[in-house]
Copies of this chain bind each other. A is one copy, B any other.
């Protein structure tokens, strides 16, 4: 237990309105609220956030329609994964200086009673922000979709969209470790070059290319056995036309298929039937019992350099909404973070 000697000025992004048909989602839906943090009560800790993770699922939380998660409440701190440092503790399991991962939200500080808070190893060879990236929720998402749903086998062809994003980066490298031929889909030449030269994928196709479908066919001459889908839209449609018998599709995200725009359709269910294809929509929190195994494997692979990654970092809490909406349009290159110190 320690006493509070300083006062802590918080800044917190609240969701204050929801997107509508007339007014699409944007920074105007958020307001930055300033205030003083209370001292931790008995059984609480006060956390100073080091990094905030920005992730596509947050877009869904802005709506109040039926989705896999409860909508974000209005006039409360926007939900988000954070890594931070305990600055005051009245909780027996945490001490000042401990580094923790949690769902602290879009703000500089958070009070917590320890629920959902995980202490990081003290002497760790990987940076703390990895625990909200490739060794955190996005990495575990990649691990679940690859090792639990697609289960790529040596020699199979595995395609991942948003291949240099937080999830896709890890998914492609895990599939390479399993011996698959891995083809990425990404937006632009720089990302495609990075996917091949740094992440080690066998090929990467630019979804902005006018002849994308032909290029995808060229990169998957034996068809597609596994598809890790993060994006939806036309690339998904074209990939589906190449699925092999007994193919598996891990449906993780549809970021291109706007809440405000055209839905991603599946143009002919007979393709799914003829191929005896498996399609599994999933979210990573359905697999909580596997998180410890996934984190252990992923942090080991990060420490050894077998998994490579990169970040897009926005500086300061003020820029979180703009960085978020930029990311939804593919403006990030690697895991999107906000640095809060």
A279 with B276: CB separation less than 8 A? no
Which residue in chain B gives the minimum CB-CB distance to A236? B269
Complex Cα gap A68–B268 (Å): 15
* Interface status of A148 (Cβ within 8 A of chain B): no
**Whole-angstrom distance from the CB of A306 to the nearest CB of chain B?**
29
Are A278 and B278 CB-contacts (below 8 A) given A68-B245, A266-B269?
yes
A254 touches B (CB below 8 Å): yes
Comparing A11-19, A165-173, A182-190, A257-265, the segment that makes contact with chain B is A257-265
Copies of this chain in its oligomeric complex: 2
| Given contacts A68-B245, A245-B68, A279-B279, A265 and B269 within 8 Å (CB-CB) | yes
Smallest CB separation, A232 vs chain B (Å): 6
Shortest beta-carbon distance from A251 to chain B in Å: 5
From B67, B272, B274, A279 is in contact (CB under 8 Å) with B272
| Bound CA–CA A245/B66 (angstroms) | 10
Of the residues B268, B275, B279, contact of A265 by C-beta under 8 Å: B268
Q: Are the C-beta atoms of A277 and B281 separated by less than 8 Å?
A: yes
Alpha-carbon distance between A68 and B266 when the two chains are bound, in angstroms: 19
Q: Is A273 an interface residue (CB 8 A)?
A: yes
Query: Is the pair B264, A268 in contact by a Cβ cutoff of 8 Å?
Result: yes
**C-alpha gap A266/B280 in the complex (Å):** 14
CA A277 to CA B280, docked complex, whole Å: 6
Given the interface contacts A254-B269, A263-B268, A268-B265, does A281 sit within 8 Å of B286 by beta carbon?
no
A21 close to B (CB within 8 Å): no
Q: Is the CB of B278 within 8 A of A267?
A: no
Q: Which residues of B are found within 8 Å of A253, using beta-carbon distances?
A: 273
Tell me the smallest distance from the CB of A19 to a CB of chain B, in Å: 15
The contact sample of 24 A-B pairs, CB cut-off 8 A, is A60-B274, A66-B274, A68-B274, A68-B276, A232-B269, A236-B269, A246-B286, A251-B273, A257-B269, A263-B267, A263-B268, A264-B268, A264-B269, A264-B270, A265-B265, A265-B266, A265-B267, A265-B268, A276-B282, A276-B283, A276-B286, A277-B279, A278-B279, A279-B280
A-B pairs, 3 with minimum CB distance: A266-B266, A263-B268, A279-B279
